[in-house]
Amino acid sequence: MGNKTIELDDRAWSIEDLLAVADSDVGLTLSADPTWRARIESSATHLAKRLASGDIVYGVNTGFGESCDVRIPDDLVHELPLHLTRFHGCGLGKPLDDQAARAVMIARAITLAKGYSGVRMELLEQLLALIQHDIIPIIPEEGSVGASGDLTPLSYVAAAMVGERNVRYGGETIAASDALQRIGRAPLVLQPKEGLALMNGTSVMTALAALAFQRADYLLRLSCHITALGIEALMGNRTHYRPELFVLKPHPGQARVAQRIYELLHLSREAAPEYRLQDRYSFRCAPHVIGVLADAAPSMRAFIETELNSVDDNPLIDGENEEILHGGHFYGGHIAFAMDGMKNAVANIGDLLDRQVALVTDRKSNNNLPANLSGAEGDRAQINHGFKALQISISAWTAEALKLTMPASAFSRSTECHNQDKVSMGTIAARDALRVIELCEQVAAAALLIMQQGVLIRLKRGEVQRDALQPALAAFAEDIGTTFSFLDEDRPLEQDLKNILAKIRSRYWDIE
């Protein structure tokens, strides 16, 4: 963990806070604030009081879901939470990576720390121990319909806390019981409601949505730089991005995108066009495409952060007012909506970059650049094919991203004996969004190589002078050149792409 530490209590968290802890840049400890600790204990105490008085509380001394009318005998109530964790151990698919799994655990800790879930301080201590010692539950990504929350994937967090199933620890996969023993902790014995409190919520979809937001935001900014490089490669027209133009269609995000592109282009691009009076749509309308995500991002952030800071399980135990509230806060509709919108907006940016690449590599539209931007000259040009294959791969990645834009939330399925008869599909939407972003990052990496090559060809020919590039764009292109060398003779580009992708995914370039 980093030197900075966030205290877990009922404070408000941002996406950046969550991911800083998930990336191990910031530590996490339990607050010592006595008022907050009293609220946690009052919730668990009030639940115990209600059970002792013979009250019926859903999921505590009843069955789950459609089985809510089944009364659990008093002598079996304490076994029920463990049974809940076990019968939900049916996830499949790839396990979440370490960053995502950490984000899930932290997101669950945030909602439990609000003090309305009927859990003891001992449970929060166990969950914090896993986070602090980097014990990562192996969480299969498939199996949640997003209501009643992320039951199946969150069961893997609960299982790790009670010493069951497998975890990643110290670079190896071991039994959760062994990992707990290594850090000197005993398996947690779940009390009534604690299994449900750990599992009945939206923490998986919310954590994945936060990761998607961070990556989409960076891709948005990167696409402005890629567009600017493409305009320089085509010797295109700067006037399409003038601030005066965007005052007349004042979507604020769209205007910011146009301003970014405008400032990256040299003043000479506002003189008489050297290519076309009006550039084709994939360049001229780039702010209008990228700007959709820029304008939607604040509402997406609000949806994600509100969900992150919510109490999202059922029932809720208000110890201070001595109430038990039965509701449906485990429903992930806001996350589903945000992620379905995000994957659409991001896929459109990927499609934009795909179209830009098609223009820059095609002799019919690239303003006298070589076919496929091959840097070979003379007789060597006949056997070299430049970026021909990469342009095909870009098309494949873009098509797959576009295919995934079908809204997951529209595919609600009635399940669990029609008790869960309307579900959010928020976790599927978040997973789809991450896959769309992954594909579009690949498109962006390839587009960077291609636009860079186009600019380098112009510089070699003397058609563009280095001092005719804006300093910020020149520095950006120069840094790409440290990873990718000029393509004169055909060579495999896989490693170049991986190197650029690594920089994108680590947000290597400090771009606004």
- Among the listed residues 58, 156, 241, 262, the single catalytic one is 58
- Whether cis (ω within 30° of 0) applies to the bond prior to 203 is no
In this structure, the strands spanning 92-95 and 166-169 are unpaired
For tokens 């223009």, name the residue: 359
Sheet containing 172-175: which strands, arranged edge to edge?
A: 136-137, 166-169, 172-175
**Distance (Å) of CA 92 to CA 95, 138, 139, 239:** 8, 11, 9, 52
Task: Give the H/E segment covering residue 325.
Answer: strand 323-325
Measured over the CA atoms of residue 361, residue 224, residue 432 and residue 429, the dihedral's sign is negative
Residue among 93, 177, 194, 75 nearest 135 (CA): 177
**Distance (Å) of CA 478 to CA 7, 306, 455, 465:** 42, 41, 11, 14
Amino acid at 159: A
CA 184 to chain centre: 33
Helix pair 80-87, 151-161: axis angle to 10 deg: 120
Residue among 353, 335, 428 nearest 394 (CA): 353
181 CB burial (10 A radius; 0-12, 13-18, 19+): middle
- Both tokens of 36, joined, read 């907050």
Query: What Rg, from alpha-carbon coordinates, does the chain have?
Result: 27
Q: Are the C-beta atoms of 404 and 314 separated by less than 8 Å? A: no
Residue 502: Cβ within 10 Å count: 12
* CB within 8 Å of 309: residues ≥ 6 apart: 12, 13, 110, 114
Tell me, yes or no, if 58 is annotated catalytic: yes
Residue among 68, 80, 330 nearest 192 (CA): 80
- Both tokens of 275, joined, read 């290519």
User: Which residues are part of the catalytic machinery?
Assistant: 58
